[in-house]
């Protein structure tokens, strides 16, 4: 990982050819192994995940691609413990996440994971600062401390001059950066991002992805990003393609190809 940290911008020029090698055994944060997820719709059972395996190491940027409706959001929800798998194993730094009770999962989500969504999920009546404060307040930190941490996170994503603007007064890219700041406030080790550039124009999408790359390099913060954007996916350290409920890691050659068939 040190190679990327010393040269965080290199992948923009050479997207995949020189991606760093990760020692997964020592660096691994999250491992979802043979994950299955099914839903019952009336008499019918819909199998969304059929043995998907995904791992993310500290400081990695991992992309997840696949056709619409294939289950990328479901996989992120399971990996983030927002939803329990029907079968499979989920570990965090080698510890079984599913062995404990719901209280442990709530604590895990609060302390270790940040979530970024396509539609921002900001509260319209609150300012950027107030939106970004919410995770700290939910963690029962004093309001003054939460306010300071939120202001710091907003400054880190380039919004120091937008603290008191409401979502309706911000551009789409600015709203997404507020959502990123909110995800950063509790200092997680991993960000799960579900189509974070899906509502943004190409230039703004690149700005948001550049922000992710910088945070990965500077904070050793890991990202797992579901995306339809092949240009952005190619900049990731590794790429998984989700097909028929199974996640297959793409080779460097496949990821470097002119197009990523989704």
**pLDDT band for position 256 (50/70/90)?**
low
HSE-up (13 A, CA, CB side) for residue 71: 25
Closest CA to 75 of 67, 97, 83: 83
Domain ranges of the chain: 2-6+33-253
Average pLDDT, the chain: 87
Residue-wise pLDDT tens digits, 34-85? 999 999 988 899 999 999 999 999 999 999 999 988 999 999 999 999 999 9
Average pLDDT over residues 205-228: 94
Q: Which residue has the tokens 């990523």?
A: 260
With a CB cutoff of 8 Å and minimum separation 6, the contacts of 154 are 128, 129, 132, 160, 162, 163, 177, 178, 181
**pLDDT band for position 118 (50/70/90)?**
confident
Cα–Cα distance, 78 to 81 (Å, whole number): 5
CB 64 within 8 A of CB 52: no
* Superfamily per CATH, domain 2-6+33-253: P-loop containing nucleotide triphosphate hydrolases (3.40.50.300)
Q: Long-range contacts made by residues 139-147, C-beta under 8 angstroms, separation at least 24?
A: 139/110, 139/111, 139/186, 146/185
Residue-wise pLDDT tens digits, 153-202? 999 999 999 999 999 999 999 999 999 999 999 999 999 999 999 989 99
């Amino acid at each position: 990982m040190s190679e990327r940290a010393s040269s965080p911008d290199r992948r923009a020029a050479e997207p995949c050819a020189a991606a760093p090698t990760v020692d997964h055994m020592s660096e691994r944060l999250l491992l979802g192994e043979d994950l299955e997820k099914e839903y019952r719709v009336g008499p019918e059972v819909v199998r969304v995940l059929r043995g998907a395996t995904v791992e993310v190491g500290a400081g990695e940027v991992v992309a997840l691609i696949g056709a619409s409706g294939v289950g990328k959001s479901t996989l992120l929800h399971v990996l983030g413990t927002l939803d329990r798998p029907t079968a499979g194993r989920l570990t965090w730094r080698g510890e079984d996440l599913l062995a404990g009770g719901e209280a442990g999962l709530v604590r895990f989500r609060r302390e270790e994971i940040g979530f970024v969504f396509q539609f921002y999920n900001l509260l319209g009546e609150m300012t950027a600062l107030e939106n970004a404060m919410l995770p700290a307040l939910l963690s029962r930190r004093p309001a003054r401390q939460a306010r300071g941490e939120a202001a710091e996170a907003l400054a880190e994503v380039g919004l120091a001059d937008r603290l008191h603007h409401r979502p309706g007064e911000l551009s789409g890219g600015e709203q997404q950066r507020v959502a990123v700041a909110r995800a950063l406030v509790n200092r997680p080790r991993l960000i799960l991002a579900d189509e974070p550039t899906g509502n943004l124009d190409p230039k703004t999408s690149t700005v948001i992805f550049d922000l992710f790359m910088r945070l990965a390099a500077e904070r050793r913060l890991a990202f797992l990003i579901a995306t339809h954007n092949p240009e952005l996916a190619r900049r990731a350290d590794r790429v998984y393609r989700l097909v028929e409920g199974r996640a297959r890691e793409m080779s460097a050659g496949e990821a470097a190809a002119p197009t990523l068939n989704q």
